[in-house]
Homo-oligomer: A and B are copies of this chain.
Amino acid sequence: MTLVMERPATETLPVEEAAKETGGLVILACSGDLERTWATLILANTAAALGKPVTIFFTFWSLFTLVRNDRGTTGENWMQKMLATMNPGGETKLKLSKMNFMGMGPAMMRSLAKRYNVSSPQELLDTAKEMGVKLVPCQMTMDMMGLKREDLIDGLEEPGGAATALAAADGSTTLFI
């Protein structure tokens, strides 16, 4: 198993064992913090690599993980503008720049992660899509934040709500992150 996409061959669970694990993984992602975004995507991709069906619901701050970079930098809606104002530091990626990470700053964490071969959230998100992880944006959050479907990245499921999340949760390992 690996958290580190550069080293895919470190998985030690045999396929048979993975096949026995019939239950899927459902993550209700709420936080926009870097470490929780990392945990969400690392768990999701690991479960997908084990052959499990995986679904992530992105609500509240986590939804910004799915905002297109070019929307984030152009700031074409009020939310982007406000968040940009709140984050004058000049980080190139808005969805990382709003994270303080207990004073360390996301830049330091990204540097550390790179040194230890941990993929960036963007890379992990790309991998998730390639591995068939279902990415579901929360419709209510989109409405509240003024985000439209075209503000979000490609390859997502149809927006859903709490009932969608709960239906997926039945019989699965379900985590609120």
Contacts and interface: CB of A to CB of B under 8 A. Distances in A.
Interface string A76-104: 00000010001000000000001000111
Contact of A1 (B52, B143, B145, B164): B164
B161 A3 contact: yes
Interface stretch (A9-17, A66-74, A127-135, A149-157): A9-17
A3 B141 CA distance: 10
Contacts of A30: 35-36, 39, 177
Contacts of A39: 28, 30, 59-60, 176
Interface residues of A, number: 65
Interface of A: 1-13, 15, 17, 21, 23, 25, 28, 30, 32, 35-36, 38-39, 42-43, 46-47, 50, 52, 59-61, 82, 86, 98, 102-104, 109, 112-113, 116-118, 140, 143-145, 161-167, 169-171, 173-177
